[in-house]
Amino acid sequence: MLDIKVRLATAQDRASLEEFYKREGLDFHDFSSRLAVPSSGTTRETMYIIAVTIDMVVAALKLDVVKDPELGDIGHILHFEIEDELEGTELGLRMIEKAVEIADTKGLRALDAIIRDDRADVISLFAESNFTELRKEVYLRRNFRQRIF
């Protein structure tokens, strides 16, 4: 079995993190600059939790700390991905446990996970970690043509 360390990413991990998300078919630059949930308040901090083995990122998730007007500081987990070969191992639970540990250390009032509804495997991991489904949402957007100014 591989020796896999789950930890917070540092600036030195950026290239490995970009490479990992690229292997997963995601654009790190696109979602790393987006807010967790557009209407949820002010994003105070953004971090990535990664799993690393042999200097290679094999799992990652984005954790945004947001100031919710009603609750105070809460965490939003997004973009949770694990290498295909490691799905179904305890790694997913270890990643969630690390997020919970950080949330507890930072005194967050809640920890939310935002997951596409077609990711039943990830949803079951969160359910196993005592997360409960509050609601389902549909995210809608109307795009306009690009403007010169």
Rounded CA separation 25/59 (Å) = 13
pLDDT of residue 51: 97
Show the domains of the chain with their CATH numbers: 5-128 (3.40.630.30)
pLDDT of residue 96: 96
pTM: 0.84
pLDDT of residue 149: 66
pLDDT of residue 36: 46
Q: Which two tokens stand for residue 138?
A: 């549909």
pLDDT of residue 1: 59
What are the phi and psi torsion angles at 105 (to 5°)? -60, -40
Q: How many residues does the chain have?
A: 149
pLDDT per residue as tens, the chain (149 positions)? 579 999 999 999 999 999 999 998 888 877 665 554 545 578 889 999 999 998 899 999 999 999 988 889 999 998 899 998 998 899 999 999 999 999 999 999 999 998 888 888 888 999 999 999 888 877 788 888 887 76
